[in-house]
């Protein structure tokens, strides 16, 4: 399906493979990350400079020709770039292009002089060559060109570094229909289902889970730390049921299942639009003394994107629809927000959709986004949940999304809607950074578009199910679609006696057993 992509040279809208030669001194000049622009480290820049991948091909033509539009886009989104940064990016890019033009001109002159000297050597005796005025002139011109190039190559590398460290942080373009502003400006596209009504006081999922002995989150500080949890019995079965239910639906629709790595290089995160080294990043990094530059993925999207990185999909195989189930790790930093329960946790399982489409008409990825949202709705409707679909505003898009839809389920115990999934069209933002292409007949290569969507984020879906389908007698009704996977229609209270805590942190500590004499 895919072919590996080596060094690429752009010819109009297509590409041809070219052997690696001089890479504009990327391999010889690399400034310390602490000297980078805005003190921002770019793992993708470092990754490319070491020769692991080809340089990202950002669409600078649009940035230069529509600078005011790009400035407006940057200022409407939430990020660390400002309008002045965009103009600085353009200025550095223009300087870089001028230096490259000078280098190209001098290299062409150097080649012409080399050809001319070779002709002189063939026409004259070597003994008299040094005395020929034309030979001396060509030699002096060649020496001057080499001196000029010796100065321009480092300058090119310096400008190239400045360019990428800034330009890689530019956000994607924004769909014209996206609302402008923060999350309060999200537009409700659709309301599905009815809010459940109870003739008793609805409880939260943690209370329900503890009474059924299917969730444990208390007294885990000494075991697994803050925001961790256990699922047991029907809780564990519910997680597996949700995973298998979502996977079955998607595989019937032609999605290819994948198992992806949980640990990935920071360059892959950055290529996806995430900043693993940013202040208050949600990405867990492993001990660099044992695992250099490895990070735990917070979503299966990163692992799947890494699979396609530096590869080209055959045009006949498009669109590619992939689904993976993975454990996600996120360093939730807001300790005071949702401190208890499964809504914000450090680890959880998630079923993720990821698509790769062509970009022939510009509508392929938009259609795939609609398809993914439709599949999300099918899954959540089958789980008999009440939810709403939101067209998310500019400040909620992150860097990679051109357009993003969130689905929020009604959670009676919380008395509010809570996000259970999102779907994003990233157009060519990720593919230009990770070199994800597609190959047409004849060998021309083009940047693909990528789309991702949550099929089922397990803990939050469990919240919605437990709170929506709770009953007065303390049991939980299993949605009809999940009953074949659960093997039951109701989650009942345990018939066994739950574990009794006997640790030191309790008001009345029971007596410890007396050791038997040996």
Nearest residue to 357 via CA among 365, 349, 347: 365
DSSP annotation string for 241-273: HHHHHHHHHHHHTTPEEE---SEEEHHHHHHHT
Instruction: Report how far apart, in Å, the C-alpha atoms of 84 and of each of 58, 68, 386 are.
Output: 19, 11, 44
Token output for 468: 């929506």
Token output for 451: 């789309």
Task: With H, G, I as helix, E, B as strand and everything else as coil, classify residue 274.
Answer: coil
Is beta strand 436-439 parallel, antiparallel or unpaired with respect to 311-314? parallel
Token output for 388: 């709403």
Can you say which residues are annotated as belonging to the binding site?
299, 330-332, 345-348, 352, 419-422, 452
Can you say which residues are annotated as belonging to the binding site for L-serine?
299, 330, 352, 452
Instruction: Report how far apart, in Å, the C-alpha atoms of 465 and of each of 344, 409, 470 are.
Output: 17, 10, 8
Token output for 303: 């692992």
| Residues whose CB falls within 8 Å of the CB of residue 443, separated by 6 or more in sequence, listed in order | 16
Percentage helix, strand, coil, to 5, in the chain?
40, 20, 40
| Residues whose CB falls within 8 Å of the CB of residue 279, separated by 6 or more in sequence, listed in order | none
Instruction: Report how far apart, in Å, the C-alpha atoms of 318 and of each of 314, 359, 424, 428 are.
Output: 7, 10, 18, 15
Provide φ and ψ at 451, rounded to 5°. Answer: -135, 140
Task: List 4's β-bridge partners, or say none.
Answer: 311
Can you say which residues are annotated as belonging to the binding site for ATP?
330-332, 345-348, 419-422
CA distance 254 to 321: 7
CA distance 93 to 89: 6
The half-sphere exposure of 439 on its side-chain side, counting CA atoms within 13 A, is 15
């Amino acid at each position: 399906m895919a072919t590996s992509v080596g060094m690429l040279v752009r010819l109009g809208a297509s590409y041809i493979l070219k052997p690696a030669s001089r890479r504009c001194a990327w391999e010889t000049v690399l400034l310390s990350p602490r000297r980078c622009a805005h003190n921002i480290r770019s793992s993708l820049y470092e990754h490319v400079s070491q020769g692991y991948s080809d340089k990202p091909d950002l669409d600078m033509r649009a940035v230069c020709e529509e600078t005011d539009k790009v400035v407006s886009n940057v200022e409407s989104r939430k990020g660390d770039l400002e309008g002045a940064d965009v103009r600085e990016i353009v200025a550095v890019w223009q300087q870089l292009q001028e230096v490259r033009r000078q280098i190209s001109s001098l290299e062409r002159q150097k080649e012409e002089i080399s050809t001319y000297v070779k002709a002189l050597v063939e026409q004259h005796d070597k003994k008299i060559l040094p005395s020929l005025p034309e030979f001396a002139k060509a030699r002096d011109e060649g020496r001057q060109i080499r001196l000029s190039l010796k100065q321009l190559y480092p300058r090119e590398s310096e400008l190239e570094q400045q360019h990428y460290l800034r330009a890689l942080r530019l956000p994607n373009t924004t769909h014209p229909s996206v609302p402008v502003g923060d999350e309060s400006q999200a537009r409700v596209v659709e309301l599905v289902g009815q809010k459940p009504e109870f003739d008793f006081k609805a409880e939260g999922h943690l209370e329900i889970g503890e009474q059924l002995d299917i969730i444990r989150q208390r007294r885990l500080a000494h075991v697994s730390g803050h925001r961790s949890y256990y699922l047991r019995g029907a809780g564990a079965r519910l997680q597996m049921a949700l995973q298998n239910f979502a996977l079955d639906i998607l595989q019937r629709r032609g999605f290819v299942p994948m198992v992806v790595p949980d640990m990935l290089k920071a360059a892959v995160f950055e290529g996806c639009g995430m900043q693993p080294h940013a202040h208050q990043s949600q990405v867990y990094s492993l001990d660099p003394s044992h695992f250099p530059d490895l990070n735990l993925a917070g979503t299966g999207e990163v692992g799947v994107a890494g699979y396609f990185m530096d590869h080209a999909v055959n045009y006949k195989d498009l669109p590619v629809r992939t689904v993976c189930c993975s454990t996600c790790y996120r360093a939730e930093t807001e300790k005071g927000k949702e401190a208890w329960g499964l809504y914000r946790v450090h680890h959880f399982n998630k079923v993720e959709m990821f698509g790769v489409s062509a970009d022939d008409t510009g509508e392929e990825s938009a259609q795939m986004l609609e398809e993914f949202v439709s599949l999300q709705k099918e899954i959540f409707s089958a789980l008999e949940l009440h939810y709403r679909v939101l067209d998310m505003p500019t400040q909620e898009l992150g860097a990679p999304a051109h357009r993003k839809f969130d689905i929020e389920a009604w959670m009676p115990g919380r008395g509010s809607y809570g996000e259970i999934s999102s779907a994003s069209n990233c157009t060519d933002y990720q593919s230009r950074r990770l070199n994800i292409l597609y190959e047409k007949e004849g060998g021309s290569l083009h940047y693909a578009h990528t789309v991702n969507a949550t099929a089922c984020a397990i803990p939050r879906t469990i919240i919605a199910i437990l709170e929506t389908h709770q009953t007065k007698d303390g049991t939980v009704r299993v949605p009809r679609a999940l009953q074949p996977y659960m093997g039951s229609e109701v989650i009942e209270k345990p018939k066994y006696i739950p574990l009794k805590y006997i640790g030191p942190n309790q008001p009345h500590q029971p007596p410890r057993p007396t050791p038997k004499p040996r």
